Structure 1
């Protein structure tokens, strides 16, 4: 028995709400350190735009194009084995997102589309869907997922999305579920496997760290979303079991609300394409870990 789209959406919402409640109780969900008024606006607008408009419209567009140009392929893969469906989604959805994310930290124009995700000076579930609206519209992995659904793998996608979003939501939260597990010596071998397989708070927080000279930061690495294994495989992994002292972007001027949500419609600041790595001294730690 497989999940329906409605069941999948409810489960993802429940996981998200669960982490929200943890942060509300332990790390001030609505009052993060160094947050600004624009942070809340960006998170609300980008989250609801993605979930209500961008993602559904991409799935609709792929289906429409499929019916128009490839009607004979609708549902063509519906009967393939579970393991084959898993392999297709891991390669064409999750690995594709890894390369899109990595490219976003390699090309200045693409980073301008992604910078909103890193502009926050805190970690939180609030960051999960925080990005430039155009960044999501262009994200290849969403379009590939739509193609796989058109080919008949909607039955698999519903469950896959729950697992993937559980990992991503947990990796962004500042209530770090992995921190207490690292302190249990008997679990060290298991955690060695886990942290090289999926994204954890320690590995993903490193990607959001503010200062390049912080040993726990890997701003131009740790790009994985569901699987951290892609970073291990392609040489961009850094595993420290520690967390950055602070979060955000260094060596770039402030970006406006319009730039973060709709660059290039709102042009970037003069030096917005400056080198994102730098040597600014690390700031005091501003996040509470589990």
Structure 2
């Protein structure tokens, strides 16, 4: 039995609320250390726009283009095996998001679109959908997912999203589910495999760490969303089983609320993309970007 879109959305909402309640009970969900008055506004607006406008609009546009340009391919992949559907989504959705995320830490203009996600000086489920509105609208993985849905894989996408969002929500929460499991010796082989396969709180918190001097911080890597395996495969992984002492962006001036939501429409701070070390080692770039 396949999940419907409505069922998938309700399950994801339930997972989100479950982690939110854990944070509410143990780590002050709405009163995180060093949060600012703009944080809540940014998180609420970016979340609502993504879920209510951006994603549905992309799916609509892809479907409309498909109906006009290639109506014969609508539903063409509906009957493929589950493993084939999984492979397509892992490559064209999750791996594409890895490369988009990695590029966002390599090119100054793209980092300006992504910086809102890292400006928070805390970890929380609140960060899951926190990003510049334009960043999500341009995200290739959402467009690729729309194409796969048009080709008939909507039935698989609903279940895939539940698994992916469960991993992402858990990786962002400051109620780290992996911390107690590392202490259980019998689970050592399982955790060794898990932390090299999916994003965990320890590996993803490292990506959000503020100071490069902190041994637990690795904002130059750990870009994976569902699969941390992409970081292992492409050489950007760092596994420490520890957690940063602080979170956020170092060595950059503060960004305004307008910048974080709609840069470059609101490019108030001209120093936002200052030349500061922290970019991912790659092909020569015209400039380095800030860390975080």
Q: TM-score range by the shorter chain?
A: over 0.9
Measure, in 1, the Cα distance between the counterparts of 2:271 and 2:146.
Answer: 36
1:276, distance to aligned residue in structure 2 (A): 5.2
Q: Which residue of 1 aligns with 2:38?
A: 38
- Between the aligned partners of 2:43 and 2:76, the Cα distance in structure 1 is 38
What are the ranges of 5 or more consecutive residues in structure 2 without an aligned counterpart? 279-292
| 2:182 equivalent to 1:191 | no
Which ranges in structure 1 are unaligned for 5 or more consecutive residues?
Answer: 279-290
Alignment of 1:90-169 (within 5 A): 90-169=90-169
How far did 1:270 drift? 2.4
1:203 is matched with 203
CA separation in 2, counterparts of 1:57 and 1:32? 33
How much has 1:24 moved relative to structure 2?
0.1
What TM-score do you get using the length of structure 1 for normalisation? 0.95
Number of residue-to-residue matches in the alignment = 278
Residue number in structure 1 paired with 2:71: 71
State the TM-score, normalizing by the size of structure 2: 0.94
State the shift of 1:62 in Å: 0.3
- Whether the 8 Å CA contact 1:249–1:276 is kept in 2: the answer is no
Change in Cα spacing, 1:224 to 1:143, as seen in structure 2 (3 Å) is: same
Tell me how far apart the structure 2 counterparts of residues 234 and 250 of structure 1 sit (CA, whole Å). 25
Are residue 255 (structure 1) and residue 249 (structure 2) matched? no
State the 1:236 CA deviation.
0.1
Correspondence list, 1:265-280, <5 A:
265-275=265-275, 277=277
Runs of 4+ in 1 over 4 A off after TM superposition: 275-278
1:234-274 CA distances to partner (integer Å, 9 max, x unpaired)? 00000000000000000000000000000000015222112
Asked if 1:48 corresponds to 2:45, the answer is: no
1:38 partner SS:
helix
Deviations 1:158-198 (A, max 9, x none): 00000000000000000000000001111111100000000
Cα distance between partner residues in 1 of 2:25 and 2:168: 20
Question: Could you say what secondary structure the match of 1:76 adopts?
Answer: coil
Matched residues in 1 for 2:276 and 2:117: separation? 14
Aligned partners of 1:171 and 1:204 also within 8 Å: yes
Distance across 2 between alignment mates of 1:128 and 1:276:
26
| Alpha-carbon distance in 1 for matches of 2:176, 2:28 | 14
1:40-76 alpha-carbon deviations (Å, 9 max, x no partner): 0000000000000000000000000000101000000
**1:17 matched residue in structure 2:** 17
Does residue 1:170 correspond to 2:180, yes or no?
A: no
C-alpha separation in 2, matches of 1:57 and 1:148: 15
| 1:57-111 Cα shifts (integer Å, max 9, x gaps) | 0000000000010100000000000000000000000000000000000000000
Give the Cα–Cα distance (whole angstroms) in 2 for the partners of residues 187 and 11 of structure 1. 27
CA distance in structure 2 between the partners assigned to 1:275 and 1:195 by the alignment: 33
For the residues of structure 2 that align with 1:104 and 1:277, how far apart are their CA atoms?
14
**Aligned-CA RMSD value:** 0.8
Corresponding residue number in structure 1 for 2:281: none
Report the counterpart of residue 229 of structure 2 in structure 1: 229
Partner residue of 1:264?
Answer: 264
What is the rounded CA distance, in whole Å, between the counterparts of 2:210 and 2:257 in structure 1? 20
